[in-house]
Amino acid sequence: MKILIIGATGTLGRQVVRRAIDEGHEVRCLVRSRKRAAFLKEWGAELAGGDLCYPETVAEALVGVDAVIDAATARATDSLSIRQVDWEGKVALIQAVQAANISRFIFFSILNADKYPDVPLMEIKRCTELFLAESGINYTVLQLAGFMQGLIGQYGIPVLEGQPVWVTGESSPIAYMDTQDIAKFAIRALEIPETEKRTFPVVGTRAWSAEEIIAVCERLSRKTARVTRMPMGLLRFMRRTLRFFQWGWNVSDRLAFTEVLASGKPLTAPMEETYQVFGFEIGDTTTLESYLEEYFSRIMKKLKEIDYEKNKAKEKKKNKRSPFKKANSQ
Ligand SMILES: NC(=O)c1ccc[n+]([C@@H]2O[C@H](COP(=O)([O-])OP(=O)(O)OC[C@H]3O[C@@H](n4cnc5c(N)ncnc54)[C@H](OP(=O)(O)O)[C@@H]3O)[C@@H](O)[C@H]2O)c1
């Protein structure tokens, strides 16, 4: 199957590309920067220059394609807003897919998007799901919770380096999933007709609170975390202030997401039906503990190697100096 992957340089998108190539699919990636996407070409993907906000570039990239997997989203650091990329860009993409008569479309949404109308990204995801359902396209929506990859920067590195670990006053447990596992579901959806025109939760084996994740990091790193609590009132104030300035819109829209994290409602869903339809077993899914164990054992090994090399270098220096010492003492 020839698949166009959008957002292929992203955390999830790159795993989708890897999985699609490993399973023998022909992959084309719509990319904004060929330089940033050079690694995808090395993996064997074809690159098509383009941008969701320029629909003519998308139409060109769709030529000869059997399926589209959309893993794009506005970057927090970008000048483009969530509205421009995740709504206007996606509406144009879905219309282009319709016009090109492409038989399959996979979209990544967020779990419980319908429960947070005041959170811009959640509302946009809900509207995109509706727009897809009315489009007549053979879509599959995968509703995600959070990525394990994000936990390294948020908890793993700060705990290791003795830096503050920021958590919101109240925190909802989240069923994080490894993006490699999510990619498996996305590619499998293309092979299973029962997934057409349907929406599935795709989340990790259980929901974890910030405190529980910090405890795992502390145990694995043998360090104590410096936890700093961010009051929700302050985050809400920052969000309202940033909305006054256009440059602050992206940050403000992202801060709105803290409402989801502070709702206290776990971001998780039953996965029995998903496993049954996709033909996977829960035992195949990476657990948060095993993901972090793998990360910390790699880092601890590297730190030991660095320590060993440092000690060896020190020893060498000492031995070099010793003849002078001996000469002086004689
Ligand atoms: N991260 C999470 O925890 C999470 C949770 C639930 C759902 N999701 C969903 O999962 C999907 C993937 O998220 P992610 O975190 O992997 O994203 P990410 O790492 O932030 O990557 C975003 C991708 O979108 C591309 N992109 C941005 N603007 C674009 C534009 N105008 N035209 C074309 N491509 C554009 C980026 O390309 P460049 O390299 O050119 O910037 C990049 O490849 C999204 O739909 C997201 O909403 C994520």
Average pLDDT on 74-80 reads: 85
Read off the pLDDT band of 329 (50, 70, 90).
very low
The pLDDT value recorded for residue 185 is: 98
Average pLDDT on 171-194 reads: 96
Question: Between the CA of residue 187 and those of 19, 101, 139, 182, 232, what are the distances in Å?
Answer: 7, 20, 13, 9, 39
Distance 222 CA to ligand 1 centre (A): 34
Decide: 18 in ligand 1 pocket, CB within 6 A. no
**3-state class (DSSP) for residue 126:** helix
What does the DSSP 8-state code read for residue 246?
A: G
Least confident of 194-198, 257-261, 319-323: 319-323
Decide: 73 in ligand 1 pocket, CB within 6 A. yes
Whether residue 321 is predicted with pLDDT greater than 70 in this model: the reply is no
Whether residue 12 is predicted with pLDDT greater than 90 in this model: the reply is yes
Average pLDDT of the residues of the chain: 90
Distance 137 CA to ligand 1 centre (A): 22
Distance from CA of residue 301 to its chain's centroid?
Answer: 26
Least confident of 108-112, 279-283, 301-305: 301-305
Read off the pLDDT band of 271 (50, 70, 90).
very high
The pLDDT value recorded for residue 129 is: 98
Widest pairwise Cα distance in the chain = 93
State the Cα–Cα distance between residues 195 and 190, nearest whole angstrom: 8
Instruction: Give residue-wise pLDDT tens across range 47-67.
Output: 999 999 999 999 999 999 999
Read off the pLDDT band of 246 (50, 70, 90).
low
> Which residues, 6 or more positions from 38, have their beta carbon under 8 angstroms from its beta carbon?
none
Read off the pLDDT band of 250 (50, 70, 90).
low
Distance 315 CA to ligand 1 centre (A): 48
Distance 321 CA to ligand 1 centre (A): 55
State the Cα–Cα distance between residues 56 and 96, nearest whole angstrom: 9
Q: Which of 6, 12, 15 to mutate to test the pocket of ligand 1 (most atoms within 8 A of CB)?
A: 12
Whether residue 95 is predicted with pLDDT greater than 90 in this model: the reply is yes
Q: Which of 31, 73, 180 to mutate to test the pocket of ligand 1 (most atoms within 8 A of CB)?
A: 73
Distance 72 CA to ligand 1 centre (A): 4
Distance 214 CA to ligand 1 centre (A): 26
Decide: 188 in ligand 1 pocket, CB within 6 A. no
Residue of 330 and 242 predicted with greater confidence? 242
State the Cα–Cα distance between residues 48 and 30, nearest whole angstrom: 5
Q: Pick the closest to residue 49 from 60, 40, 63 (CA basis).
A: 60
For 24-28, the CB contacts below 8 A with 24+ separation are: 25/1, 25/187, 26/1, 26/2, 27/2, 27/3, 28/2, 28/3, 28/4, 28/61, 28/65
Q: What is this structure's pTM?
A: 0.91
Instruction: Give residue-wise pLDDT tens across range 203-241.
Output: 999 999 999 999 999 999 999 999 988 777 777 776 666
Distance 12 CA to ligand 1 centre (A): 8
Bridge pairing between strands 226-230 and 104-110 = unpaired
Decide: 36 in ligand 1 pocket, CB within 6 A. yes
Neighbours of 79 (CB within 10 A): 10
Distance 6 CA to ligand 1 centre (A): 9
Q: How many CA atoms, within 13 angstroms, populate the side-chain half-sphere of residue 192?
A: 18
The torsion angles phi and psi of 92, rounded to 5 degrees, stand at: -65, -40
* Residue 240 region by backbone torsions, left for phi larger than 0, else alpha for psi between -120 and 50, else beta: alpha
For residue 6, which atom of ligand 1 is closest to its CA? 34
For residue 179, which atom of ligand 1 is closest to its CA? 16
- Which segments of 153-282 are extended strands (E)? 164-168, 176-177, 198-201, 226-230
State the Cα–Cα distance between residues 78 and 100, nearest whole angstrom: 29
Residue with tokens 């657990």: 287
